[in-house]
Amino acid sequence: MTISSLRPTGLGIREVSERTGLSVDTLRWYEKEGLLPPMPRGGDGRRVYPERMVEFVELVVALRRTGLSVADTRSFVELADEGAASHGRRMALLERQREDIHEQQRRLAADLAAVDTKITHYRELIAAGLDCDGLPVDETTAVRQRRTA
């Protein structure tokens, strides 16, 4: 019977990796770089992740994935160190990130529209058997024009 079996609340780094999608190396690198707080260690020096840490890691992943830089993510995590006193500042940081995400959504929608317009354009040319200048293509080309692979 081991210590860890007496403490079912702690997770190994591998388990956290599987639950969050971050590689084991990345979890360690994030901790070293301050994107995750220093983790408590078991008697053998291994990281023991509290169960609730998974949720925190997932927030960090969401922030990174939405483009928050490593530096700003570190700031957020440093604020978390301060406890309740930093709630307002953490909220403000997240609100800035929210605006950034809104901006990304607008850009993405605009780029999607551009791609869709082009797709429609190709579809029409293929249906009509025309080239980019609106001139009819020959039969050999028309056959190729319809190929999608």
Partner DNA sequence: CTAGGCGCTGGAGCGCACTCCAGCGCAAGC
Partner DNA sequence: GCTTGCGCTGGAGTGCGCTCCAGCGCCTAG
Q: CB within 8 A of 66, min separation 6: which ones?
A: 97, 100, 101, 104
CB of 60 to DNA, least distance (A): 9
Question: In whole angstroms, what is the distance from residue 133 CA to residue 92 CA?
Answer: 52
Range 10-43 burial, b when 16+ CB lie within 10 A, else e = bbebeebbeebebeeebbbebbeebbbeebeeee
> For DNA, which residue of 40, 62, 71, 98 counts as binding (CB under 7 A)?
71
Q: Euclidean distance between the first and final Cα of the chain, in Å?
A: 59
Distance of CA 35 to the CA centre of its chain: 14
> For DNA, which residue of 37, 54, 59, 64 counts as binding (CB under 7 A)?
64
Task: Report the partner that residue 69 touches, choosing among DNA, a second copy, none (CB closer than 5 to 8 A by kind).
Answer: DNA
> For a second copy, which residue of 2, 44, 85, 139 counts as binding (CB under 8 A)?
85
Which residues ranging from 30 to 59 are in contact with a second copy (CB under 8 A)? 58-59
Contact 64, 57 (CB under 8 A): no
Task: Report the partner that residue 60 touches, choosing among DNA, a second copy, none (CB closer than 5 to 8 A by kind).
Answer: none
Chain contacts with DNA (rule: CB under 7 A):
2, 12-15, 23-26, 28-29, 41, 43-47, 64, 69-71
Contact residues for a second copy, defined by CB under 8 A: 58-59, 62-63, 65-66, 83-92, 94-95, 97-98, 101-102, 104-105, 107-112, 114-116, 118-119, 122-123, 125-126, 130-132, 137, 141, 144-149
